[in-house]
Amino acid sequence: MKKSLIAVAALAAAGAVSAQSSVTLFGTIDTNAQMIKAGSAGWTKTMGQNGYGTSQLSVRGSEELGGGLKAIFLYEGDFEANSSNNVAAAGATGNTQGGHVLGSGGGEIYVGLAGAFGSVKLGTPNSPTLSTQADRNPFGTKAGSGFGGGGATILGSGIVRQDKSIRFDTASFSGFSLALDIGDSSTGANIATANGGKVYDVGAFYANGPISAGVSHWEQGTQKINELQASYTFGPVKVMGGFHKETGTAATAAGKGGNIAVTYNLSPALAIDANYAKLKTDVTTDNDPSIFAIGPKYMLSKRTTAYARYVQLKSAANIKTETVLVGIRHNF
């Protein structure tokens, strides 16, 4: 009888521990086939990745600490879906910190605390400006968005995350929330190290019903980026867009630009996305870069989506690049 009571107590204790903490393993594999035509050259065929999601293997967890406080962590390991050695090449689309082998990182990584006050994250959490840039269009940071070098920095210099950073987020009050991220300028992707000094990124966001909006300010030394985005959903249509101004950086990115985008849901499974963006650079002798993208996406299941897209990108050198891609994204 005594042994039975001990066994029951042990099982109850184990159950209490497991109820207080949780760990989730999840990820994405996204790859596509592409045809690309740059300038007067002919069409070339290749394989691409990360058309609608970033290929990754990630772990998320939390532990209840009592009093409404909990410990949180996230480990995102990005990888190349089309590479046999699973090395994320530097500068590859969707990868912000290149040269990582599967399982060794390359994505958002943090540990922190969360409660009624909001949250604090230490490590390499995503930057508030990433939200305002990605939420301006239905393609996020992917092909057709105008994000980063592959998108001719039409949405402004691509900001994803900083090394050695601390991010504070307030709780949401009637849809309003604030975020502050302070990072180290000495290392990390998406940082102009020549500017020196700490990296500061602050954002204010609103999401309530059909309306969503955000504004952010990122700066390091003399380089500054102000972003504004908003969206409105009515029936099957979601209209979104944004505006930004950037100063103190390379002339091909410095300036101001805007975009307008739409998602039209033809059915619960089928939608068409479109985006147009243009950047007015500080360069007077070159042409202004622009991008146009349109394409359908079809949910084969809750986890699997097939997609296609046509992208036309005009660079500051007035070179037109056309891309046609067809791919599949699977979340697990």
CATH code, domain with 173: 2.40.160.10
- Could you tell me the two tokens for 182? 């302070």
**Is residue 325 domain-resident?**
yes
Pairwise CA distance, residues 135 & 78, whole Å = 21
Query: By C-alpha distance, which of 132, 137, 130 is closest to 238?
Result: 137
> Which of 93-107, 173-187, 273-287 is the least confident region?
93-107
Sequence-distant (6+) residues with CB within 8 A of 264 are 236, 237, 271, 272
State the DSSP code for 318: -
Query: In a 10 Å sphere around its CB, with 0-12 CB exposed, 13-18 middle and 19+ buried, how is residue 297 labelled?
Result: buried
Q: What's the full length of the chain, in residues?
A: 332
Say if 80 falls within a structural domain: yes
Highest mean pLDDT among 82-96, 173-187, 288-302: 288-302
pLDDT exceeds 70 at position 236: yes
Question: What DSSP designation does 173 have?
Answer: B
Number of domains in the chain: 1
Residue 59 lies in a domain: yes
Flag whether 293 is in a domain.
Answer: yes
Token digits for 193? 């190290």
The boundaries of the domain holding residue 96 are 23-331
Q: Is residue 17 part of a domain?
A: no
75-84, 264-273, 278-287, 308-317, range with the lowest pLDDT? 278-287
Residue 133 lies in a domain: yes
Cα 137 to Cα 117, 146, 161, 302: the distances in Å are 30, 9, 19, 22
Phi, psi of 151 (to 5 degrees): -110, 20
In this prediction, residue 283 carries a pLDDT of 64
**pLDDT band for position 248 (cuts 50, 70, 90):** confident
Structural domain includes residue 164:
yes
6-20, 122-136, 251-265, range with greatest mean pLDDT: 122-136
CA–CA–CA angle 30, 308, 34 (5° rounding): 70
Q: Are 61 and 21 in contact (CB under 8 A)?
A: yes
| Beta-bridge partners for 330 | 29, 304
Looking up tokens 């039409």, which residue turns up?
154
